[in-house]
Amino acid sequence: MTPELAASLRSLAEALPAGVAVPVPREWLLELLAGQESAAAANTAMDPTVEELAARYGRAPSTVRGWCEAGRFPGAYKLHDREWRIPAAALETFEAQERRRERPTGRGGRGVRSLGDWRQASRRPA
């Protein structure tokens, strides 16, 4: 629905008394709904699949499916209850979270440590 159509429908509805039923012509309603469906189809066609994201991130498709099921892509949905689709906003959120995630730092920091650290710990006096 275009913003102009939505604004015009809102002004018409607000001008009516509360509780009034609004009959509309069948053709007009079908035309309005067809516009909504085509907009939804256009958005769906642009949302990447699990396979496309797997290639993009260098991961297995099963890994990306797991991310979808775990909710790591907010707004991800299953198209026709079969294949996952991930909206652009969900990708942006996921990538921003990945950039903020703490990375292993090595000696002295949190995360992966040197295998030799246990030797130094065992040499310290009690």
> In terms of pTM, does the model score above 0.75?
no
Q: How many CB atoms within 10 Å of residue 55?
A: 13
Structure tokens given for 54: 């797997």
**Is residue 37 domain-resident?**
no
- The verdict on residue 70 lying in a domain is yes
The predicted pLDDT at position 106 comes to: 53
Residue 71 placed within a domain: yes
pLDDT at 15: 85
Number of domains forming the structure of the chain = 1
Average pLDDT score over the chain: 77
- Indicate whether 96 belongs to any domain: yes
Q: Which two tokens stand for residue 11?
A: 């002004």
For residue 61, being part of any structural domain is answered with yes
What is the C-alpha separation between 121 and 117, in angstroms, rounded?
6
Phi-psi region of 106 (alpha: psi -120 to 50; beta: other; left: phi over 0): left
- Find the domain containing 73 and state its range: 48-100
Of all residues in the chain, the percent with pLDDT exceeding 90 is 21
Q: Quick check: is 126 in a domain?
A: no
